[in-house]
Structure 1
Amino acid sequence: MSNQRTAPTRATHVGSLLRPAELLRARQDHAAGRIDAQTLTAAEDTAIQVILDVQRDSGIGPYTDGEYRRNDFMSQLTGGTDGFVAQAPTLDWNAAGDERHPDDAILNLIGGKLLHRDRFAEREATFLARHAPGPFKVTIPEVTNFVVANWQAGVSDEAYPTRADLVDDLAAVLQSEVEALVRDGVRHIQIDAPCFTSFVNDKLIAVFEAEGLDPRDLLRRCVEADARIVAGLREQGVTVGMHICRGNYRGQWFNEGTYDGIAEDVFGGIPVDHWLLEYDTDRAGSFAPIRHVPAGTTVVLGLVTTKTGALENPDDLVRRIDEASRHLPLDALALSPQCGFASEVQGNPLTWDDQRRKLDLVVSTAQRVWG
């Protein structure tokens, strides 16, 4: 197997994309028993072919399937892993103004010992290998997401007395899947970690402390688990990116807090090829923490929001990239939207045309800055 990793692209996106109306209807029809699984798969295949064309026409890369086969960015893992129970966690989402939406995403609590049962990204990888017009990536969730969002006292603690106790078993689940992806021939894997910012969220820090946990020790344990997975992938020549945001659900966010409190542990502790970092609002703070990113690692600046359809001013984007270049060389930077357009099936409150304009803006701005 070649150890040649994919060269960084200057214009990329995080992974999930808005589902077209036809696919949403097909999913509803399947849930209601009006169509069978084979018909739903055919609808997914057709929609993925369309979104691959959209990515090709915009010039953005590497390709993804838009996560069109998933209910949300973590659902394939929960569906393929023993130990999850059909009970939704209670998550406190934040929204601009009065636009708060109730959380009805399909998320499951941990109620038993976690064990990898079925592949959860095989169909995605196989289809992309056959149909992507160029290099593609497969996205998987990260350990910390489940430590924060899927452990609950009274449900999870018989199997895992504390959140910290599930880290190793969850890492083993992810390790099994990424090893299989490598055997499938996947050369680019992205790990999505929106809950690292829980460790700069005062509300959640208080929750961890009330449970008798040291938040910094819990963070480091998650970082060490991720680092083992990432190092193993890179030794096999796989390009690895990691995405950090503050949650992304129908225009809402989950965490608040800047990168300052986690940058040294996270950026310095996980040996990825590139970081995809949310930077579309003041919630992210300054660019100063990216100084902790090791030499040779790219930072993809998530400056274009996916939470609304309002289009950013390209001059403002160029100015912000220039600001970031005071902390890392311009050649170590790239540009993307701040998160996916649809981290769960309904997606964020913007239109298909809004999404396309934002992809085009990322590409045109990158061309302007890097040529």
Structure 2
Amino acid sequence: MDFSGKALHVGSLLRPPALLQARDRHAAGEIDAEELWQAEDQAILEALALQRDSGIGVYTDGEYRRNDFMSHLTAATEGFVTQAPVLDWNAEGEEQTKDDSILNLIGGGLRHRDRFTDREAEFLAHHAPGPWKLAIPEVTNFVVANWQSGVSGAAYPTRADIIDDLAAVIRTETAALARDGVRHVQIDAPCFTSFVNEKLIAVFEAEGLNARELLDRCIQADHAIVTGLRDAGVVVGMHICRGNYRGQWFNEGTYHGIAEEVFGRIPVDHWLLEYDTERAGSLDPIKHVPEGTTAVLGLVTTKTGELEDPDALARRLDEASRFKALEDLAISPQCGFASEVQGNPLTWDDQRRKLDLVVSVAQRVWG
């Protein structure tokens, strides 16, 4: 049996040291863009070999051409300014790592300026050993994290006002991907859980926004993006987590408050759902994933190198089958291993063991 549909991963992988060094040298002006691209190419070939050897599917390039999972869009879209938002990250214990990734605020009208996934797609089309996917960020991320009144307010008086223009940027890119023949697209949506995060709901309400109406607007935008892709024959997955930055997380709250609306109204082929800690809550919200749509349970954490017990993972999948048929379930890590360039606090070998574990559990459960 081919387990590529039952053993998946979210996408980003730890950057090899040689790639990190090349990035530093490029930033210092010691190598040009072409030399950096060559270093990225070589690193991606290593990432593809890692995935092939583990048996994980569907292939990605590890997001090795990006600073973080949204940076390719912000770099290619008019209206972003180089000013980082202030994000309140959570960590185990008391020590938190400051978010120094390159995140850009919205400072003007948003317009699609350049393609931002074409180079990634072209390389994967020539080098991936099997089916491959590209990931793009979802509208809600920018609504939550990239709008700030003093910087964005002149162009967009409220955070809700960015939705239509941002969705148009994403639709332009996804339409081009479909024309290019890309067959798998993943939409990364860590900020849907902001709508069950009491701190952020209070922020929205303090700004005079109704959180449920804001969620509804984002769902409508996503519905149009996903429908356009699927009408073009593209398989679409959507990933929901609670943020992933060097082992930290951004959002708190379970799926219960959003599952029926989000799962029921966005017509993806599969959902990749964070379920590695008690923060995610119980499994019963997956009953709202429509029949025929796969719920991919992110039971293996990427935030630490500690390896999960395969027996416990198999039991969780058995428990999930009370709410959704086993044939409509799959397993994955809870998020990427490196949503930004420095990555989470685990090693390359830890990463490989995690991928191997996902595949072995899939073989055990569905074999």
TM range (shorter): over 0.9
**Pairing 1:78–2:80 present:** no
Instruction: Give the letter aligned to residue 171 of structure 1.
Output: A
What's the secondary structure of 1:217's corresponding residue? helix
Who is 1:231 aligned against?
227
The number of aligned residues is: 366
**Pairing 1:158–2:154 present:** yes
- Describe the shift of the 1:8–1:331 C-alpha distance in structure 2 as closer, same or farther (beyond 3 A): farther
Structure 2 contact 80–107 (Cα < 8 Å) conserved: yes
Who is 2:9 aligned against?
13
Query: 1:203-282 counterparts in 2 under 5 A?
Result: 203-282=199-278
Who is 2:300 aligned against?
304
Who is 1:187 aligned against?
183
Structure 2 contact 4–57 (Cα < 8 Å) conserved: no
Could you list the per-position Cα deviations for residues 109-151 of structure 1 after superposition, in whole angstroms to 9, with x for gaps in the alignment?
0000000001111100000000000000000000000000000
TM-aligned CA deviation for residue 100 of structure 1: 1.2
TM-aligned CA deviation for residue 267 of structure 1: 0.4
Instruction: Give the letter aligned to residue 277 of structure 1.
Output: L
Alpha-carbon separation, structure 1, partners of 2:292 and 2:95:
41
Who is 1:344 aligned against?
340
Alpha-carbon separation, structure 2, partners of 1:98 and 1:293:
36
Alpha-carbon separation, structure 2, partners of 1:76 and 1:50:
21
Alpha-carbon separation, structure 1, partners of 2:265 and 2:158:
23
Instruction: Give the letter aligned to residue 25 of structure 2.
Output: D
Who is 1:177 aligned against?
173
Structure 1 contact 8–298 (Cα < 8 Å) conserved: no
Who is 1:314 aligned against?
310
Alpha-carbon separation, structure 1, partners of 2:305 and 2:150:
41
Unaligned runs of 5+ in 1: 1-6
Who is 2:366 aligned against?
370
Instruction: Give the letter aligned to residue 23 of structure 1.
Output: L
TM-aligned CA deviation for residue 359 of structure 1: 0.2
TM-aligned CA deviation for residue 99 of structure 1: 3.7
**Pairing 1:109–2:105 present:** yes
Who is 1:4 aligned against?
none
TM-aligned CA deviation for residue 8 of structure 1: 7.2
Query: 1:143-154 counterparts in 2 under 5 A?
Result: 143-154=139-150
Identity of aligned residues (%): 76
Unaligned runs of 5+ in 2: none
Who is 2:320 aligned against?
324
Instruction: Give the letter aligned to residue 254 of structure 1.
Output: F
Who is 2:282 aligned against?
286
**Pairing 1:119–2:118 present:** no
What's the secondary structure of 1:155's corresponding residue? helix
What's the secondary structure of 2:238's corresponding residue? strand
Could you list the per-position Cα deviations for residues 303-340 of structure 1 after superposition, in whole angstroms to 9, with x for gaps in the alignment?
00000000000000000001111000000000000000
Who is 1:53 aligned against?
49
Structure 1 contact 280–305 (Cα < 8 Å) conserved: yes
**Pairing 1:131–2:127 present:** yes
TM-score using structure 1 length: 0.98
What's the secondary structure of 2:152's corresponding residue? coil
**Pairing 1:26–2:22 present:** yes
Instruction: Give the letter aligned to residue 127 of structure 1.
Output: F
Alpha-carbon separation, structure 2, partners of 1:289 and 1:190:
21
Alpha-carbon separation, structure 1, partners of 2:94 and 2:120:
37
Structure 2 contact 26–32 (Cα < 8 Å) conserved: yes
Structure 1 contact 278–301 (Cα < 8 Å) conserved: yes
TM-aligned CA deviation for residue 98 of structure 1: 3.2
Structure 2 contact 4–58 (Cα < 8 Å) conserved: no
**Pairing 1:100–2:96 present:** yes
Structure 1 contact 63–136 (Cα < 8 Å) conserved: yes
What's the secondary structure of 1:154's corresponding residue? helix
Alpha-carbon separation, structure 2, partners of 1:99 and 1:212:
33
Alpha-carbon separation, structure 1, partners of 2:291 and 2:321:
13
Runs of 4+ in 1 over 6 A off after TM superposition: none
Structure 2 contact 106–151 (Cα < 8 Å) conserved: yes
